[in-house]
């Protein structure tokens, strides 16, 4: 299973189990409907009994609406629309309950060929009516599930219509009687009275009431109802709605989905894991999981380890595949075998430590919890080590000269061994980056965010906007020169190719949102790219520069807006961005914009807490490393030259961009992460006095000593290596394999010791 497929399943499952464990819903609203001038006062009496049930026993929010006799249809239509707006949007889970107690009209006149649809009436004879069958289909627009309870004559006619959308798929319907039948009047024998009793009994016995079970109880002969109720379940094979008291869980309340035990299941399938099959599996796991299950996660760590072992040990030999260890250059063989040996030594020592570290005092009340924490820590370390080994193999396979040719790339993408090793997605990105194809990814924009540069000292990379076709999206703007408002053919071609590359299937290691396409707003002097929000529309992007700037302000209210990351989180940020940079270099694309304003995290739009575990990389320039020339820089963008190598500063940089320039900018990023401060804050005054040309020497002086105090000597050495460009590579091939290997060994591996500072790693133990 690829990382992308595994991630798709786990994201879907996380939404299911990261919830209020006491209820299937986060928000429940009830609407009780009856006529304002009914000839039967019992309908209001039963509505008040329902109100007591929902409010006192179930803690639901209840609304009442008396249908007026004048403009009845319009009034109810408006009331339903207003009621539905009270439901919370996803990822919140919402339920709407609508109950109608009143008269129903038979809706049958032979001369007019009426279809016996759902019509409600204020009086048993004559009086005003309204066409419920026209309003009911609009319930499909509810932001959640709907329970519809109809206690009226001819109630089941609500399910009768000219199309199969009469009862929307998100609606579960209970009707008091069938088409052509009259319901019992309000009182002891009514459907509503019996329904209330069954729900109360179920709540008392089980603590919850399932609508399907309530229907089966009402249909029993010993219930002695005058009419047998009818039941229409939710669409799409979904489980029945479950009613139980709505108990809010405050932010301070500890998470209740603690794992008292864990059960590992192995699932086999009869056909390949297609997107459709994955959707079916996710649906099955989410729909039928018992309430006691607090979480599900799909992992394939062991199978990945087996695949990597087979590759290193060449068992069984893959004669036709390019991905064979024996065919690789000696430096690649040496690095891969060394990585495998280190992994095995660490794994063996970690297993011994795990076995001997379990609590020896069985009667200690916290021993089970401590042991569980140790197991989880071991598994996290194991997966991290597997990913590191996989990255080493991928980087060396991608360095094979044959895989820089179009025909070999195309063949390798279909190679089963490449798929098993998880390299296919990187091959596809390289193919797109180096051998572009014709595509139509030009998108229209309906509106544009005002230029933020005049309002803030910060560089804003991503904006959240609404797209007419794709809904909520992320937009990255790129500016044109004031003297040249039109994209020339070269720039347009490069922008299109960048969109194609960012649109290609990517593994998590690339750390970039998926691109939907590009757009042009030449009348505003800019153009840009449109992305899918990788974590969902409830979350908004925040750049590392914005976070650092907030912390640099003197006002305490501003400084505390975003929490500071832990030391381990800072090492993780550096490691993931560095790995992503190396991965992009491996497919033949240089970034040209590594800086804190192009490192993005996400937070919930209603909270300030940042998720530092998942940094994303944006702000790519248009050119590959192999391009003969770089694009002319936007005039206002020169203010960010402090983040660039001296050879890449100014509107017309003297040298073409290369990997070493990206590494220099990465060294500056390490400085900002390590000292948790912005370059302009640290060196702005120096630049004003002595200029940018003297800055590199000053940065090196400040890095030495300060970084080691905050982050350790290994981290400081990694930053200095990037800033000086001294990777110890004297001779390299055309694609700079040795430079990439040195960056991995001298820089990325320097972060390993810091990754588990927030919790000691079993894999820190050397043999």
Buried b (16+ CB within 10 A) or exposed e, 407-432: ebbebbbebebbbbbbbbbbbbbbbb
Among 216, 243, 270, where does a domain finish?
A: 243
pLDDT score for 281: 66
For residue 720, what are the CA distances in angstroms to 494, 661, 692, 705, 717?
33, 14, 18, 11, 5
Residue 757 pLDDT class (50, 70, 90 cuts): confident
Residue 765, pLDDT score: 43
Q: Is residue 751 part of a domain?
A: no
Q: Is residue 260 part of a domain?
A: no
Does the pLDDT value for residue 366 go beyond 60? no
What pLDDT does residue 280 have?
Answer: 67
In a domain, 357, yes or no: no
Report CA-CA distances (Å) from 273 to 1, 4, 604, 674.
Answer: 8, 12, 32, 42
Please report, for the domain that includes residue 201, its CATH number: 3.40.50.1460
Q: What is the pLDDT, as a whole number, of residue 383?
A: 74
- What is the tens place of the pLDDT at every residue in 450-496? 555 444 556 778 888 887 777 788 999 877 655 555 555 666 777 88
pLDDT at 764: 52
Q: Which residue has the tokens 């989180």?
A: 569
Give residue 550's pLDDT: 85
Residue 228 — φ and ψ, nearest 5°?
A: -80, 120
Q: For residue 369, is pLDDT > 70?
A: no
Task: Read off the pLDDT of residues 74-127 as tens digits, 9 standing for 90 and up.
Answer: 999 999 999 999 888 766 789 999 999 999 988 865 445 557 789 999 999 888
Classify residue 622 by its DSSP letter. Answer: S
The tens digit of pLDDT for each residue in 222-276 reads 888 889 999 999 886 678 999 999 875 443 333 434 444 555 566 666 655 555 6
Kind of pairing between the strands at 599-604 and 61-67: unpaired
Mean pLDDT of the chain: 81
Residue 131 has pLDDT above 50, yes or no: yes
**CB proximity list for 629: less than 8 A, separation 6 or greater:** 623, 656
| Per-residue pLDDT at 110 | 45
Closest CA to 145 of 62, 26, 265, 304: 26
* HSE toward the beta carbon, residue 591, CA cutoff 13 A: 31
Task: Tell whether 56 is covered by a domain.
Answer: yes
Q: How far apart are CA 371 and CA 373, in angstroms?
A: 5
Q: What are phi and psi of 166, to 5 degrees?
A: -60, -45
Total count of residues recorded for the chain: 767
Distance CA 301, CA 337 (A): 20
In percent, the amount of the chain with pLDDT more than 70 equals 74
Mean pLDDT of 638-648: 80
* 4 pLDDT higher than 60: no
Range 384-402 average pLDDT: 89
767 has pLDDT over 60: no
Confidence of residue 183 (pLDDT cuts 50, 70, 90): very high
User: How close are the terminal C-alpha atoms of the chain, in Å?
Assistant: 31
Which residue has better confidence, 269 or 188? 188
Query: 603: which residues sit within 8 A by CB, 6+ positions away?
Result: 539, 540, 542, 562, 609, 610, 611
Q: For residues 557-567, give the mean pLDDT.
A: 72
- Mean pLDDT throughout 747-765? 71
pLDDT of residue 259: 44
Radius of gyration from C-alpha coordinates of the chain: 32
Which tokens is 47 given? Answer: 């509505």
The arithmetic mean of pLDDT across residues 325-344, rounded, is 89
Range of the domain at 187: 23-243
Assign 3-class secondary structure to 508-542: HHHCCCCEEEEEEEHHHCEEEEEECCCCCCCEEEE
Residue 325 lies in a domain: no
User: Which pair of structure tokens corresponds to residue 289?
Assistant: 């999981």
162 located within any domain: yes
Indicate whether 623 pLDDT > 70.
Answer: no
Domain presence at residue 763: no
Report d(CA 603, CA 615) in Å as an integer. 11
In 3D space, the residue among 105, 108, 112, 107 whose CA is nearest the CA of residue 150 turns out to be 105
Last residue of a domain, one of 243, 275, 299: 243
Lowest-pLDDT choice from 138-142, 367-371, 598-602 = 367-371
Domain count, the chain: 2
* Strand-pair partners of 171: 146
Is 80 exceeded by the pLDDT of residue 2? no
- Where residue 650 sits, what CATH number does that domain have? 1.10.510
The 610-617 sheet, strands edge to edge: 539-543, 599-604, 610-617
Looking at residue 555, its pLDDT comes to 42
Structure tokens at 621: 């320039």
Q: Where does a domain end: 219, 243, 267?
A: 243
Q: What is the pLDDT at residue 96? A: 97
pLDDT at 682 over 70: yes
| Range of weakest confidence among 263-267, 640-644, 647-651, 681-685 | 263-267
Using a pLDDT cut of 90, give the percent of the chain over it.
38
Work out the pLDDT band at 684, boundaries 50, 70, 90: confident
DSSP H or E run through 493: helix 489-503
Enclosing H/E stretch for 27: strand 27-35
331: pLDDT strictly greater than 70: yes
Mean pLDDT over residues 176-195, rounded? 94
Helices (H) and strands (E) in the chain, counts: 22, 18
What is the predicted pLDDT for the residue at 324?
Answer: 86
Beta strands in 445-582 (DSSP E): 463-467, 471-479, 515-521, 526-531, 539-543
With respect to residue 138, please indicate whether it lies within any of the assigned structural domains: yes
pLDDT for position 258: 43
> Does pLDDT of 414 surpass 80?
yes
**Cβ-contact 240, 54 below 8 angstroms:** no
Q: Which residues contact 690 (CB under 8 A, 6 or more apart)?
A: 698
């Amino acid at each position: 299973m690829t990382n992308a497929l595994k991630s798709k399943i786990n994201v879907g499952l996380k939404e299911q189990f990261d919830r209020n464990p006491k209820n299937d819903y986060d928000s429940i609203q009830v609407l009780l409907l009856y006529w304002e001038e009914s000839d039967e006062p019992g309908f209001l009496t039963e509505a008040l009994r329902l109100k007591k049930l929902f409010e006192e026993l179930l803690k639901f929010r209840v609304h009442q609406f008396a249908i007026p006799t004048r403009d009845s249809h319009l009034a109810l239509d408006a009331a339903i629309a207003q009621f539905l707006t009270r439901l919370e949007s996803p990822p919140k889970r919402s339920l709407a309950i609508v109950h109608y107690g009143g008269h129903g009209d038979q809706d049958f006149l032979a001369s007019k060929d009426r279809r016996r649809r759902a019509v409600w009436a204020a009086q048993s004879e004559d009086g005003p009516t309204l066409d419920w069958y026209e309003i009911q289909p609009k319930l499909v627009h509810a932001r959640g599930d709907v329970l519809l309870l109809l206690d009226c004559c001819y109630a089941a006619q609500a399910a009768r219509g000219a199309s199969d959308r009469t009862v929307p798929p998100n609606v579960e319907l209970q009707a008091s009687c069938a088409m052509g039948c009259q319901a019992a009047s309000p009182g002891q024998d009514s459907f509503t009275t019996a329904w209330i009793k069954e729900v109360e009994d179920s709540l008392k016995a089980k603590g919850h009431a399932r609508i399907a079970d309530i229907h089966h109880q009402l249909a029993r002969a010993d219930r002695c109802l005058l009419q047998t109720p009818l039941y229409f379940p939710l669409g799409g094979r979904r489980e029945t709605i479950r009613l139980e008291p709505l108990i809010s869980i405050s932010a301070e309340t500890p998470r209740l989905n603690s794992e008292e035990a864990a059960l590992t299941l192995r699932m086999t399938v009869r056909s390949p894991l297609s997107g459709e099959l994955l959707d079916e599996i996710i649906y099955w796991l989410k729909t039928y999981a018992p309430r006691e299950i607090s979480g599900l996660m799909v992992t394939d760590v062991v199978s990945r380890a087996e695949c990597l072992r087979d590759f290193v040990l060449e068992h069984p030999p893959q004669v036709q595949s390019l991905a064979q260890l024996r065919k690789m250059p000696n430096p690649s063989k040496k690095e891969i075998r060394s990585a495998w040996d280190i992994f095995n030594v660490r794994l063996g020592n970690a297993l011994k430590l795990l076995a001997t570290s379990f609590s020896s005092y069985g009667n200690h009340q916290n021993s089970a919890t401590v042991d569980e924490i140790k197991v989880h820590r071991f598994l996290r370390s194991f997966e991290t080590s597997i990913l590191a080994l996989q990255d080493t193999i991928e980087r060396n396979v991608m360095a094979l000269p044959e895989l820089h040719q179009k025909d070999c790339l195309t063949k390798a993408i279909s190679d089963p061994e490449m798929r098993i090793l998880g390299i296919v997605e990187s091959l596809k990105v390289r193919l797109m980056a180096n051998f572009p194809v014709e595509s139509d990814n030009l998108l229209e924009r309906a509106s544009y965010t005002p230029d933020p540069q005049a309002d803030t000292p910060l560089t804003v990379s991503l904006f959240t906007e609404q797209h007419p076709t794709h809904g909520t999206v992320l937009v990255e703007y790129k500016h044109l020169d004031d003297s040249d408002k039109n994209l020339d053919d070269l720039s347009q071609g490069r922008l299109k190719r960048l969109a194609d590359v960012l649109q290609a299937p990517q593994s998590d290691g690339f750390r970039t949102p998926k691109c939907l396409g590009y757009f042009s707003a030449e009348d505003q002097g800019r153009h840009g790219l449109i992305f899918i929000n990788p974590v969902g529309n409830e979350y908004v992007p925040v750049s590392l520069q914005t976070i650092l700037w907030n912390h640099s302000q003197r006002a305490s209210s501003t400084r505390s807006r975003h929490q500071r990351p832990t030391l381990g989180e800072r090492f993780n940020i550096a490691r993931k961005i560095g790995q992503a940079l190396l991965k992009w270099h491996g497919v033949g694309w240089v970034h040209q914009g590594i800086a804190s304003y192009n490192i993005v995290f996400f937070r919930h739009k209603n909270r300030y807490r940042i998720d530092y575990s998942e940094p994303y990389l944006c702000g790519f320039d248009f050119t590959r490393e192999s391009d003969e020339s770089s694009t002319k820089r936007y005039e206002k963008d020169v203010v960010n030259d402090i983040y660039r190598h001296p050879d890449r500063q100014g509107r017309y940089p003297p040298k073409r961009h290369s990997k070493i320039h990206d590494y220099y900018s990465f060294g500056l990023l390490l400085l900002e992460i390590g000292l948790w401060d912005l370059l302009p804050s640290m060196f702005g005054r120096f630049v004003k006095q002595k200029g940018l040309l003297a800055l590199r020497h000053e940065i090196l002086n400040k890095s030495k000593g300060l970084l080691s105090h905050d982050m350790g000597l290994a981290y400081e050495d990694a930053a200095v290596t990037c800033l000086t460009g001294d990777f110890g590579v004297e001779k390299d091939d055309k694609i700079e394999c040795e430079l990439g290997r040195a960056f991995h060994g001298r820089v990325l591996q320097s972060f390993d010791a810091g990754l588990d500072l927030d919790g000691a790693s079993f894999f820190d133990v050397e043999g």
